[in-house]
Chains A and B, each alone.
Chain A
């Protein structure tokens, strides 16, 4: 267009004047032409008449497209290319990201979906000038580039400039166009009382459930994805819709492992692509890159922590009943040969090592297979594991009460007479394994960081770590069994042993109560009751064994009773567990959370942070006793609660009872193999503060104060 005008201009002074005018105007508005027609006109606008030092204002790239031509959104969809702006700013100036108005969705033949704009769009950005400005004017320059398509695609671009005077006051300008496009900007997802977003994943599809009354008023609801670079997303579609709830299914190929959510817009209008469209911005979960560096401790340091942690495991509430059994064993052995005691202690130790090493191997294999694993509790997220433990604990307790005895058949006893201590050794070994199984969810203070570190390392280090923990846990027994002198301090065997034995049975029942509580937290009251029914049948079976399967009874009688027992156990197992228990629904996390704690989702966290609030997240689980201890003694203490309220800190509980994979990923991100984990998010773009596993009131109060004052001063 310009060359032609130049030729005309050379013929006439009027035209040359026009030409100069055009050149003068050109930097502010340029047209892209195709086949002689203007298809895109680009202009740079500001919403202010002058620049006031230190006062932010908004600039916008106004693109006006010929009918039928489109430019593209931040995510262009199956084809196309988003518009780009490369700014050259004087030093000290800051510019924000492009604020993209809600685009239109176009579906072309061949099921090609693209997101973009037609007719006109204003892409706004907030500019912050420095507090001190020299000169009477400032020039901002940008290289805008876009792709505009109709039946064919044409890349376009131009350098645009904005020259504005610097003054102490300014007036708004271009108010209509800015207001028009500000209305089309997406909003943050409103608080949980207006709308909720819940993510889940089914194979290679993400599911986004939006619950809100607002949706019911808009017939057209859609999800426009904003995937990360590495994710290839398919076409989101509505999976189901009823009243206030809509579920989107978002298929993807080639995504980072463990993808659990995706940013995007939930767009709602009376009609698709309606002018009245509005949207909520959905953000994805906080980044969970596996490469977040764990604390910089040497490997040896961690192994030491592992050893100490193993030692402390002996004091954990879940291990105590078995310890009592073991100490009892030592008492019984007090009169026996030193050799025997030592061998028994070693067998116990081997039992502890065996379980830890088996666990390490299993975890290394799973990790190698790419599964998300954390140690210290993930077993307890499986209700069947808890159920098996319950059965074992109950049977042990009944044995201690004297309901039945474990005795080997006569033939076996005779052949073992020469090595009669083998039974004791096997028993010790089994006790070692059992003690360790019960200990795994109680991650002691040192154990938490140590294991978290180990998990990011090689298989060798993981194995070494577990061995260190096993060594720590078994050390006291090895010492005791090697130093028979200490056993002299234990009293002589007598009737008191029977009473202590029965009392230990009650301790085990206490453990059983805890396990039933966990089952209830995982599968609801119904699940716990069905499990208890099964346990009742087990008790009856044990009684039958104790009452009727005696060495003095006839072989026929014994066989009949064994068959009956088996039938009872298997039958009730199939009915109660295979049938009823299995169908008991997983208790929803919502019902577990009470009081002023909100259930945690990455959505809610992001939303609260966006609104400028500080958030405290308590990662807990029903079976985690350290968590319960922290909650009871610190978090629910009067002065701590008041501190939370005073500073307006939002409290969220992340319930890991059922092993929620989103929470698992977050635990790994913070370098923890399990719960408890306490994280304080001070503000939107700040590093979260991680508390140690054992909380003290002083520590929590002090951190709350310092964060609150820091946030207030910003």
Chain B
């Protein structure tokens, strides 16, 4: 009986997924390995030597729809993937929650929304999301070729679900990438992200 209790206690401890703090700007970005909609596995380490943008995604979230409906996100994705930046969109929502995508659903969204990311990765267990302390969609993390986090936070400066606010907002991701790609340091390396909460699997 005692052994059973102990085992239960231990497994519940292990089962409680470790939720990490947001990695500090300048620290090493945690590695992860996730499948995309076609089943191919992508890991952060395979992209060492390139700039990588991580974008947490939820097609049902009005704040994500603000940027996709207006093509703001797709344009951003195209602009920087054309410059050799690797753009990984990640869905960390648990199965059964409205933001969760099956491989078919992911392919459908990508084609109907005409997205330009390098890959749309499925993280239903929420491991990558938790490793990055990602709490919102959209949440943006930019990693430089040395594997260090150079930006984390909101996509832009106006925390609203209105597409009409996009032209007058400062796009922090574009600014950080433009600055870093031209050898300058990032002026605003961290901001508070806004958006819906990521729907993690209950532990």
Contacts and interface: CB of A to CB of B under 8 A. Distances in A.
* B partners with A: yes
B191 interface: yes
B135, B192, B196, B197: which has the most chain A beta carbons within 10 Å? B197
B179 to A, nearest CB: 17
A345 to B, nearest CB: 52
A232 B191 CA distance: 7
Contacts of A147: 62, 161
Nearest to A81: B159
A155 B197 contact: no
A555 to B, nearest CB: 61
A80 interface: yes
A151 B95 CA distance: 12
B46 to A, nearest CB: 26
A548 to B, nearest CB: 60
A78 interface: yes
B161 A109 contact: no
A80 B126 CA distance: 20
A81 B160 contact: yes
Question: Chain B binding site: helix, strand, loop or mixed by DSSP?
Answer: loop
Contacts of A253: 22, 24, 190
A109 B200 contact: yes
Nearest to B198: A110
A154 interface: yes
Contact of B194 (A81, A152, A154, A234): A81
A337 B63 CA distance: 87
Interface in B157-198: 159-162, 190-192, 194-198
B90 to A, nearest CB: 13
Contacts of A193: none
Interface residues of B, number: 35
Contacts of B63: 153
Interface string B56-75: 00001111000000000000
A207 B139 CA distance: 28
Contacts of B99: 152
A110 B60 contact: no
Interface residues of A, number: 21
A79 interface: yes
A114 interface: yes
A138 interface: no
B98 A108 contact: no
Interface in B121-138: 126, 129-130, 135-136
Given A152-B60, A152-B61, A153-B62, A109 B135 contact: no
A358 B192 CA distance: 42
A151 B62 contact: no
Contact of A81 (B97, B161, B191): B161
Interface string A107-134: 0111110100000000000000000000
A110 B135 contact: yes
A387 B195 CA distance: 56
A359 interface: no
A593 interface: no
Contacts of A81: 159-161, 194
7 contacts: A78-B197, A79-B197, A80-B196, A109-B126, A153-B61, A153-B196, A232-B191
Interface of A: 78-81, 108-112, 114, 147, 149, 151-155, 232, 234, 253-254
Given A110-B198, A155-B161, 8 more contacts: A79-B196, A108-B199, A109-B203, A112-B135, A151-B199, A153-B196, A232-B153, A253-B22
* In the A-B complex, the 8 residue pairs with the closest CB atoms: A110-B200, A79-B197, A109-B200, A153-B196, A78-B135, A111-B19, A155-B161, A109-B202
